Amino acid sequence: MENGEIMQKRNLGKSGLEVSALGLGCMGMSYGYGPASDKAEMIALIRKAVERGVTFFDTAEAYGPHANEELVGEALAPVRNQVVIATKFGIGLDANYKQVLDSRPETIRRSLEGSLRRLRTDVIDLYYQHRVDPEAPIEDVAGTVAELIAEGKVRHFGLSEAGLATVRRAHAVCPVTAIQSEYSMMWRQPEEELLPALEELGIGFVPFSPLGKGFLTGRFDKNSTFGSSDFRSIVPRFTPANLDANQALVHLVRKMAADKNATPAQVALAWVLAQKPWIAPIPGTTKMRRLEENLGAADVELSAGELRGLGEALDRIEISGERYPVELAKNVGK
């Protein structure tokens, strides 16, 4: 996308929620990928994204915790009516920073009031349950969000990393606008059951980590190391042996990038965008040049033949290493 061009828009399923084809995942600005970045620089980056046509921004109560919502709220306050803000409830952190799931109705309401305050807004455009809470019936969760929609405090309901049976049960109580889950050339499991079901139900899909947590950019090899505040330091996929084993995927993306006069990141994002018209990925970054590079993916068109060739090549590549450590893997797909 050239400077001055307005990015194409997409509808998340049949909900009527329109967002920029590429959103911006804001988590890494405050949390998860090393020390928090400079606040003034991150506000400038978010505002540059708005200038470049991005209208879809993703955060969560648990990121920071609270710090990321405050950052996003401050950055977007001047343009609040031009953008879609997504945030999430349902994950607390205990004294040891372990995830604690809590989606009781009273907790959801308390979380919402905090998010509204931090985001400097009177309505959340898209409110996700961050992880399914096995102790809180999904019908109660969906019912609570339906009440919040009726009260005008929330516009749309979403679920993050939920299993298909849960999605169907929730959708029957309160229409689900979007499912957020990991999806990339490196993690294609959603293609098996989730994407066909979302198409059937008219629900949009918001892939996080569309660049494989940075792996698909080609930046990492067996010598790469990650600090203790970087989530990747505990992810099996990022051990030296698995980083080495998965280089075949990097070679594939690099070759296509060279053929297309694009970067590996742009090819990886263009591939996600090409899968379905109701998919809006949310790559994250803390660097202005990476933001520009990622937005350039909207200009990379992969032909039907190129997509078929990539699909066949991806089918032949075995990805090594799980995407979550065991403790966190327990909370997904419920």
φ/ψ of residue 143, rounded to 5: -65, -40
Of 31, 33, 63, 183, which is the active-site residue? 63
183 tagged catalytic: no
Q: What totals of helices (H) and strands (E) does the chain contain, helices first?
A: 12, 11
Q: Provide the strand spans (E) within 173-298.
A: 176-182, 204-208
Structural tokens at position 241: 């042996």
Residue 204, SS3 per DSSP: strand
Gap between the Cα atoms of 266 and 255, Å rounded: 12
- Report yes or no: 188 and 206 within 8 Å, Cβ to Cβ: no
Residues 6 or more apart from 284 whose CB is under 8 A from it?
24, 25, 26, 27, 28, 29, 33, 208
Which residue, chain included where needed, has tokens 């505002």? 47
Gap between the Cα atoms of 99 and 62, Å rounded: 9
Gap between the Cα atoms of 137 and 105, Å rounded: 10
Residues 6 or more apart from 136 whose CB is under 8 A from it?
102, 103, 104, 105
Gap between the Cα atoms of 300 and 139, Å rounded: 41
Q: Tell me the pairing of strands 91-93 and 99-101.
A: antiparallel
Structural tokens at position 202: 């008219």
Residues classed as catalytic = 63
